[in-house]
């Protein structure tokens, strides 16, 4: 990133305001620095020469005190504005990255999700030194240094020549050292992203690794990445200390040259004492901002590297979004026409054509990797189709393409039930109805009758009865305190209470035993009886037998034999045509409730 990258000003409004205020405070600082040097020289020279006493220069001393106080006040304002601007800019960039990452879709998130999570948490925090240290000094170098050099030129041009000849030494060494610092900072950010990604993956799969006794291998990998990150950080700090020492040496040597030159000229009577003091006071101020830019560049290099990554994310083109309002899905038919999506080097799904009628249960079936989840992502408007597409057909025959529909209005009519539902810390009731309203006594909000009826339909009432505080029992992040089956019942109840006419489910009976599966099937049946359109990814025969329509999804044009059985009496004909749509047999009661001989899976 450039010292003052226009992209930062374009993406962060707080940064633009901060630049304006910092420019004003920088100009004020330049004026106060020059005024302070002039007052010191005018006050000290007569006293040292014996031409005046302390009482005679007292007005100058009082004015000097006011200038020093004003300079301190400007510095205080600058620091306060810098910290506020840094915090607001980080918040703005974090929000934009999250929103853009969500707009890029699940495929991009699956590839870059861990790196992005590290970026928006620890990575962006490194921008604070850039705003609080580096950027103010950069603007001071653009205001204070020219002002002091101009004053020197009006008072003593030989000293000005010395300053002009020695000042370029600082940028030259800054460039030489800065190139290495940027490389080290980039390596540090990459090491931090690798470490963050590995830790997130380890946390996500820790229960499985622990169950298989394989947690030691990833732990060693995390320790190795931690050492790599520590070494990269120490390399950056070592370079910062060394560069600081080099810049300090160059500045000290340059000021010493001017001091010696002024001293000899003062000794030989070629310079008066007032001008000599003014030169000695102003010369260090000319070097100070540039030296501080080089010194604080290393503190801000990590933030600059993070900002570069932010801009890479924000400049990634997102899929085009429509602007038409979504039609009423309770009466519309969803039409899938020759849908193909490129996935892992093949088409999954491939050439899928089907109808999803309103108010019915439609099951997506097929082997693993056929593209069932990808199909639901296209239906949800999260993933664009590479070939074909999805449209909505209204009762009057009018059709609207999904890519032309505003995604916000589309999502407002959809309830999504994944395998692992999103459950936030809070009470069971809050997770269904939303956050508790302010002003309700003890946070005990009443339970609506519609929720009670939905809970009875999904079997959630049994879960509520087993909890110590019923609906007001607090559960943890991700549903800690509930089993997988209980979490699915919670998600189904939430979908049943929701007014969304379309409910999309991703294998809601996966990892459940027979009893929990029966409750989930009851919830799916209740959704259908409520007139909702249900699209469900299904593998188990009982869930397939419950469906009114069955869509076979295949990859690469293949048509594997995916026939499934219900209870042994009714067979669901999935057909052999790729992407075919078949009418399912009427589900029998026994098919929706597996018997004792059915294979049971642990309700983890």
Domains 6-314 and 333-433+448-591 alike in fold: no
Give the model's pLDDT for residue 451.
Answer: 85
Q: Given a cut of 60, is residue 311 above it in pLDDT? A: yes
Residue 586 confidence class, pLDDT cut points 50, 70, 90: very low
Give the model's pLDDT for residue 366.
Answer: 87
Give the model's pLDDT for residue 494.
Answer: 87
Give the model's pLDDT for residue 535.
Answer: 92
| Residue 432 near residue 490, CB atoms below 8 Å | yes
Stretch 518-525: mean pLDDT = 84
Range name among 8-22, 96-110, 143-157 with the lowest pLDDT average: 8-22
pTM value is: 0.60
176 or 25: which carries more pLDDT confidence?
25
Residue 362 confidence class, pLDDT cut points 50, 70, 90: very high
| Residue 148 near residue 286, CB atoms below 8 Å | yes
CB neighbour burial string for 355-386, b if at least 16 within 10 angstroms, e if fewer: ebebebbbbbbbbeebbbbbbbbbbbbbbebe
Q: Given a cut of 50, is residue 578 above it in pLDDT? A: no
Give the model's pLDDT for residue 580.
Answer: 40
251-304 tens-digit pLDDT: 788 888 888 888 888 887 777 888 888 888 888 888 878 777 766 766 666 677
The DSSP H or E segment spanning 185 is: helix 169-212
134-160 tens-digit pLDDT: 878 787 788 888 888 888 888 888 888
Give the model's pLDDT for residue 188.
Answer: 67
Q: Which CATH number fits domain 6-314: 1.20.1560.10, 3.40.50.300, 3.20.20.10, 1.10.540.10?
A: 1.20.1560.10
Residue 583 confidence class, pLDDT cut points 50, 70, 90: very low
In this structure, the chain runs to a length of 604
Q: Given a cut of 60, is residue 225 above it in pLDDT? A: yes
Architecture category of domain 333-433+448-591 in CATH: 3-Layer(aba) Sandwich (3.40)
470 or 177: which carries more pLDDT confidence?
470
Give the model's pLDDT for residue 582.
Answer: 37
Distance from C-alpha of 312 to C-alpha of 96, rounded to nearest angstrom: 12
The DSSP H or E segment spanning 482 is: none
Stretch 308-332: mean pLDDT = 84
Give the model's pLDDT for residue 434.
Answer: 75
Residues 6+ apart with CB under 8 A from 490: 421, 423, 428, 431, 432, 460, 463, 479, 482
370-421 tens-digit pLDDT: 888 889 888 888 888 888 889 999 888 888 888 888 888 888 899 888 888 8
Give the model's pLDDT for residue 1.
Answer: 53
For the chain, the average pLDDT equals 77
Percent residues over pLDDT 90 in the chain? 4
199 or 59: which carries more pLDDT confidence?
59
C-alpha distance from residue 144 to each of 65, 137, 147, 250, 283 (Å): 20, 10, 5, 19, 11
Stretch 88-92: mean pLDDT = 86
Give the model's pLDDT for residue 2.
Answer: 60
Give the model's pLDDT for residue 180.
Answer: 65
Give the model's pLDDT for residue 313.
Answer: 87
Round the CA-based radius of gyration of the chain to a whole number and report it: 35
Domain ranges of the chain: 6-314, 333-433+448-591
Residues 6+ apart with CB under 8 A from 174: 243, 247, 290, 293, 294, 297
Distance from C-alpha of 148 to C-alpha of 154, rounded to nearest angstrom: 10
Stretch 184-195: mean pLDDT = 68
Percent residues over pLDDT 70 in the chain? 82
582 or 115: which carries more pLDDT confidence?
115
Distance from C-alpha of 350 to C-alpha of 559, rounded to nearest angstrom: 10
Query: Sign of torsion, CA 356 357 358 363?
Result: negative
């Amino acid at each position: 990133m450039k010292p003052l990258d226009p992209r930062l000003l374009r993406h962060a409004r707080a940064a633009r305001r901060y630049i304006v205020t910092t420019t004003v405070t920088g100009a004020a600082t330049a004026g106060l620095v020059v005024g302070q040097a002039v007052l010191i020289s005018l006050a000290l020279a007569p006293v040292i020469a014996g031409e005046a006493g302390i009482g005679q220069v007292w007005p100058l001393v009082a004015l000097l005190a006011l200038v020093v106080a004003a300079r301190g006040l400007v510095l205080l304002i600058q620091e306060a504005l810098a910290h506020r601007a840094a915090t607001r800019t980080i918040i703005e960039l974090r929000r934009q990255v999250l929103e853009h990452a969500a707009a890029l879709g699940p495929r991009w998130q699956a590839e870059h999700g861990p790196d992005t999570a590290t970026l928006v948490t620890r990575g962006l925090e490194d921008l604070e030194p850039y705003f609080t240290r580096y950027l103010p000094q950069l603007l001071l170098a653009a205001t204070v240094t020219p002002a002091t050099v101009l004053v020197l030129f009006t008072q003593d041009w030989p000293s000005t020549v010395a300053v002009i000849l020695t000042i370029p030494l600082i940028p030259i060494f800054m460039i030489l050292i800065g190139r290495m610092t940027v490389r080290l900072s980039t390596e540090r950010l990459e090491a931090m992203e690798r470490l963050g990604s590995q830790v997130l993956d380890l946390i996500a799969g820790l229960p499985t690794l622990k169950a298989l006794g394989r947690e030691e291998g990833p732990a060693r990998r995390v320790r190795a990445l931690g050492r790599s990150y520590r070494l990269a950080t120490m390399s950056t700090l070592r370079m910062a200390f060394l560069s600081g020492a080099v810049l300090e040496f160059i500045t000290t040597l340059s000021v010493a040259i001017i001091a010696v030159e002024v001293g000899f000229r003062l000794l030989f009577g070629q310079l008066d004492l007032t001008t000599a003091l003014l030169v000695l006071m102003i010369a260090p101020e000319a070097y100070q901002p540039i030296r501080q830019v080089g010194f604080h560049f290393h503190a801000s290099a990590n933030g600059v590297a993070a900002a570069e990554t932010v801009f890479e994310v924000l400049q990634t083109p997102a899929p085009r979004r429509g602007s038409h309002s979504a039609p009423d899905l309770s009466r519309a038919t969803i039409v899938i026409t020759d849908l193909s999506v490129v996935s892992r080097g093949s088409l999954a799904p491939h050439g899928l054509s089907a109808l999803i009628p309103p108010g019915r249960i439609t099951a997506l079936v097929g082997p693993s990797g056929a593209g069932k989840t990808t199909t639901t992502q296209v239906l949800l408007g999260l993933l664009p189709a590479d070939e074909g597409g999805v449209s909505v057909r209204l009762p009057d025959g009018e059709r609207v393409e999904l890519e032309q529909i505003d995604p916000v209005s589309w999502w407002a009519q959809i309830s999504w039930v994944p395998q692992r539902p999103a459950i936030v810390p809070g009470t069971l009731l809050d997770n269904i109805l939303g956050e508790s309203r302010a002003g309700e006594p003890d946070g005990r909000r009443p339970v609506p009758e519609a929720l009670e009826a939905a809970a009875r339909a999904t079997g959630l009432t049994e879960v509520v009865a087993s909890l110590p505080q019923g609906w007001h029992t607090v559960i943890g992040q991700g549903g800690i305190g509930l089993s997988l089956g209980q979490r699915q019942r919670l998600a189904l109840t939430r979908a049943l209470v929701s007014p969304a006419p379309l409910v999309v489910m991703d294998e809601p009976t996966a990892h459940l035993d027979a009893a929990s599966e029966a409750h989930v099937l009851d919830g799916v049946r209740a959704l259908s009886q409520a007139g909702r359109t249900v699209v469900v990814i299904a593998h188990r025969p009982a869930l397939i037998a419950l469906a009114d329509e069955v869509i076979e999804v295949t990859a690469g044009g293949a048509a594997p034999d995916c026939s499934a059985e219900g209870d042994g009496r009714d067979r669901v004909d999935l057909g052999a045509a790729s992407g075919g749509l078949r009418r399912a047999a009427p589900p029998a009661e026994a098919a929706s409730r597996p018997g004792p001989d059915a294979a049971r899976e642990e309700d983890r």
